[in-house]
Structure 1
Amino acid sequence: MDGARVASRPSPQTYLLALGLILMGLALSTVSLWAWFQGVEPRWSVVLFGLLGVYMVFLGVDEGWLSGLEVTPTALRLRSFGRWAAYPLQGFEAADAVRDILGGGWQLVLLGKGREPLRVPLRRYANARQLGQALLDALWLQNKDLLVMPRLAYRFGRPPCGVLARRK
């Protein structure tokens, strides 16, 4: 399975969440602008809420159109705000899953001795299960003694899952 890769595909829920964030940000910015012209005091609070609204708009754009991930047998690539960051998968010894606070999707947490924990957001991708299984396969290809926590094994299965590595 050389040259194999699995890339994220946004789902309709991804776009709904993104549009919700954008609309809330625009509403907050509009109310803050209105409050500024009405002379609401203290002015710093109006500016703070306006900036929070602008941040929410940017977060919505990133969530819907500028973020993604890609799994290969040797590396993980994460995209945020249109910029890719590559992470080699050597050295990870354990994997777990937690709920993502933004949108309620899953985050895979990769742990390794001497490495910072790496959080991989699966968000609301249409192929989140396949991405999780591909990541587990890639980690297992790098470390056959990979420790998969029960919550993660229940959700995605134990490697090899058959996405990037052949099943036993």
Structure 2
Amino acid sequence: METKYTLSLCSDLDEQEIQQLQKQAKILKENSLNTFNALKTTTQRLERQTFTNCPSFQQAFAHLFHTDVRTFKIELSQNLNNLEKQLNNEILHEKDSKFSLSVIKVQFDKFIHSDVLKPINPYSSSASYDREVRKNFKDYTQMEAQIFKETIIQNMNSIEQCIVERASHEQKL
């Protein structure tokens, strides 16, 4: 009789532990999707209005991102959709999720390392052009290019951290 009670108690504890782990998994999934939504909201600043009406923004964008706006937006939309699908999976595939995120990182790489975002040397021949590029970017996105850059980096790092946490947690589960 005592053995049955002990087995029952153990199975109840195991069940409670599994339920707790499942609750944590749900929270981690929600966190990863919230962080993804922060990234998506930031990138939507690039879509505020019709870019064809803003030739100065098109030039600034091309200078910062080394590509045209239309191509970038189409690719970004596809890449964000791929990442969102990965993060929405009940069971996270860490390798696939990290790959989807890395594609987005590569897409922003030229912007993140752009010379225009480095401190402006007032004696440089391109100083006034760099200021104009930054101004046009801000006018369009309502966000300083440097702050946009820092926000994008922070969001991508947070998503990567969420992916690692979820994958680790799912291994326990």
More helix by share: 2
Instruction: Say which structure, 1 or 2, has more relative contact order (CA 8 Å, 6+ apart).
Output: 2
TM-score range, shorter chain: 0.3 to 0.5
More strand by share: 1
